[in-house]
Amino acid sequence: MIQQEQVLSHDAEGVVPEQRNGVGTPRRAAQLRVDARRNLESVLRAAREVFGELGYGAPMEEVARRAGVGVGTVYRRFPSKEVLVHRIASEEVQWLTAQAWESLGGEQQPWDALAGYLSRAVATGAGRLLPPEAFWRARALDRAAAARRAQPSDGPEAELTVGPGSAGQGSAGPGTGAEVEGGSVSGAEVDPARLVELLELLARLVERARAARELRAGVSVADVVLVLTASVPAQRTPGADAAGSEPGNGQPGSAAADGGEGVPESTAGRLLRLLLAGLRAGV
């Protein structure tokens, strides 16, 4: 009787037994949340690696294997592959856009701003995660710019103004001939306004370098997109996740950069150097 009264008094004071009807304690629930967050970060990190190396057509089973979880865990967080691909592509476009704004707002010379942007995008692997439609939209943007330059103008050409989160005026959005040729390639659709914003910012970086006569004649926005997407994946080395910009956190643009003082030039670094030399005037 005394023991029963003690149990009842504890329950009355709000003390929760260790286990009751299969329900765990708040401590266990908190641990489950931590595990779930860790699994999500592992899946996102693995997805960026797999899609960056193999393209968006890579199987979900490979994502699960790289993440060290079961494929069922991946599907519990992302009901379909399209949902995962959309998240990765959208986050990379957002990160690349933020980096483009930073390059435009800095005090670097036009070529250094463009080359620095491309170097960061390639080193983190973000460029390879652009949706395939980015190239076709860039080509449409180049064609529109060429058509404007070919037309006689009574006054100075209006400068492109586009703020964060908008597509700007006269942008190559849906219905303007900028749709993906042949439709979606991989299901990696992103908000068209976000993608156009990124391409228009790249166009501004290109035009500044061209105006400073630091860019080879004929280089276009589509060429810059090719540099972003044609870079080879960074070679993974033991312990790479312990360095760089927190590559293990599953965030966009978080892969470790290659090279560094006293480190041999990587394949990705050499390819980028060759590509930049092809873009720059007088090299």
Percent of the chain whose pLDDT exceeds 70: 63
Amino acid symbol at 101: W
Beta bridge partners, 20, equal: 23
Cα–Cα distance measured from residue 25 to residue 18, given in angstroms and rounded to the nearest whole number? 6
Q: How confident is the model at residue 9 (pLDDT cuts 50, 70, 90)?
A: very low
Q: How confident is the model at residue 234 (pLDDT cuts 50, 70, 90)?
A: low
Residue 93 tokens, joined: 């476009």
**Which residues have C-beta within 8 Å of that of residue 91, sequence separation ≥ 6?**
251, 252
- pLDDT, one tens digit per residue, over 23-34 is 456 766 666 677
Asked if the model's pLDDT at residue 120 lies above 60, the reply is yes
Residue 64 tokens, joined: 């699960």
- pLDDT, one tens digit per residue, over 265-282 is 577 778 888 888 888 887
What's the pTM?
A: 0.69
Helix extents (H) in 68-109? 71-77, 81-105
Q: What is the pLDDT of residue 252?
A: 67
Asked if the model's pLDDT at residue 41 lies above 50, the reply is yes
Beta bridge partners, 280, equal: 215
In the numeric block, the tokens 């779930």 are attached to 36
Provide the angle, in degrees to the nearest 10, between the axes of the packed helices 110-124 and 267-279.
150
Contact between 214 and 281 (Cβ < 8 Å): yes
- Who has greater pLDDT, 104 or 233? 104
Give the C-alpha distances (Å, rounded to integers) separating 84 from 58, 165, 210: 12, 22, 38
Provide the angle, in degrees to the nearest 10, between the axes of the packed helices 192-211 and 81-105.
30
Q: How confident is the model at residue 214 (pLDDT cuts 50, 70, 90)?
A: very high
Termini Cα distance of the chain: 92
Asked if the model's pLDDT at residue 94 lies above 70, the reply is yes
| Average confidence score pLDDT of the chain | 74
The segment with the largest mean pLDDT, out of 46-55, 168-177, 223-232, is: 46-55
Closest among 138, 166, 167, 144 to 157, alpha carbons compared = 144
- pLDDT, one tens digit per residue, over 166-212 is 333 333 333 333 333 333 444 567 888 999 999 999 999 999 999 99
